Amino acid sequence: TQLLEQSPQFLSIQEGENLTVYCNSSSVFSSLQWYRQEPGEGPVLLVTVVTGGEVKKLKRLTFQFGDARKDSSLHITAAQPGDTGLYLCAGHQEQNQAGTALIFGKGTTLSVSS
Amino acid sequence: ETGVTQSPTHLIKTRGQQVTLRCSSQSGHNTVSWYQQALGQGPQFIFQYYREEENGRGNFPPRFSGLQFPNYSSELNVNALELDDSALYLCASRLDSHYGYTFGSGTRLTVV
């Protein structure tokens, strides 16, 4: 069972359209992060949300953390071809007293065509 | 900052062989994690080290092992390679005070 469920898995849109990607779980996370990954590269951190209900904006990207800290969303306004990539949500899960592991969803592959 | 550097970038090994992948993290990044990523999928957590001790492990068999060194470098060792081990292996590190990880570009391992 996937701890973090992302939807949709694939998204193909035209330049200028808006889109929302969802990240859901039945577990509570101390923080959720969103990463973007391009082919041949490692994921790059976009944002970290920590407080339930928190909203963060990064230019045309808006990130929201659910009130219960179990889910998050990423909204992109007026998508551009440069937004194309694999979007990953990730949450910290308690492993033991000393460590927490960052667990990823399966990702959403976004393709924006001009 | 020099980022996270992984070597080699690509590697081809034969089934049954052993492989060592290397990662050089940024100074001060006491936490290092290793991930396996299949094409088009999210990274799967292998294990994590904090100050040279393993403090978390995902659902991977014991033939996946690692080390972290005092100079912020680390290794991922895989014994008895299987065809399904073919994947992108990512190393990521972070500061104690930060949630976010810095990832390397990965090592593309192909087992034939």
Q: Which of B55, B101, B106 sits opposite A102 (nearest CB)?
A: B101
Distance from C-alpha of B51 to C-alpha of B55, rounded to nearest angstrom: 9
State mean pLDDT over A5-24. 97
Contact A51, A67 (CB under 8 A): no
DSSP A54: -
> How do residues B30-79 score in pLDDT, each as one tens digit?
999 999 999 889 999 999 999 999 988 999 999 999 999 999 999 999 99
* A24: Cα separation from own chain's centroid: 10
Q: Which of B40, B92, B100 sits opposite A48 (nearest CB)?
A: B100
Give the pair of three-digit tokens for residue B36: 């396996």
pLDDT at A74: 98
Residue of chain B whose alpha carbon sits nearest to that of A88: B42
DSSP bridge partners of A110? A11, A85
A87 Cβ contact partners less than 8 Å away, ≥ 6 residues apart: A6, A21, A34, A35, A36, A37, A74, A107, A108, A109, A110
A97: pLDDT strictly greater than 50: no
